[in-house]
Amino acid sequence: MRQWIVLAALCGLLSPFGASAQPAVPDVPFHDSLRGTTPLDEETKPPLIYPTENKDVIRGRAYAQQPPTIPHKIDGYQVDKNANRCLACHARSRAAESGAVPIGVTHYTDRAGATLGSLAPRRYFCTQCHVPQADTKPLVSNTFTDVEDIRLAPGSKPASSHKN
């Protein structure tokens, strides 16, 4: 008898609760912020591609060490192992002539912190960190608050420095 119970449990005929559990199906239809209510086995209609901003206005940054965004169109720019179109204007040797912001000095250091005579290989593919912008509605809500905007809650005391 004991062997039958073990065999039945392994085959899924018995559960610890006496009946096999079925997954609960929610009453509301599935909704994904990117797919909407389209079932997973169907193709969605792709959203419109918003035009890239081309204002050449440098945006503020939301946090320290945030890479600056690209304030112009980069459609058709070649940035691959063979060429980097960004360097035509942003290389330190060409920035004064083009009027572009020169590449930061951090892009000329390797992982060990040694200064190189040319762009560091790990910084060559600009669009890994820097992205163009479009004026679009966010896909998900954002509750980010800058550390400078955080205020003390009413009734709380500021942290005091510990003195010995």
As annotated, the binding site includes 72, 86, 89-90, 107, 126, 129-130
As annotated, the binding site for heme c includes 72, 86, 89-90, 107, 126, 129-130
Max avg pLDDT among 73-77, 144-148, 159-163 = 73-77
State pLDDT tens for residues 130-156: 999 988 888 788 888 777 777 755 555
**124 pLDDT tier (thresholds 50, 70, 90):** very high
CB atoms within 10 A of CB 86: 21
* pTM confidence score: 0.60
- Three-class secondary structure of residue 36 per DSSP: strand
Classify the phi-psi angles of 65: left when phi > 0, otherwise alpha if psi is within -120 to 50, otherwise beta.
Answer: left
* List of domains in the chain: 66-135 (1.10.1130.10)
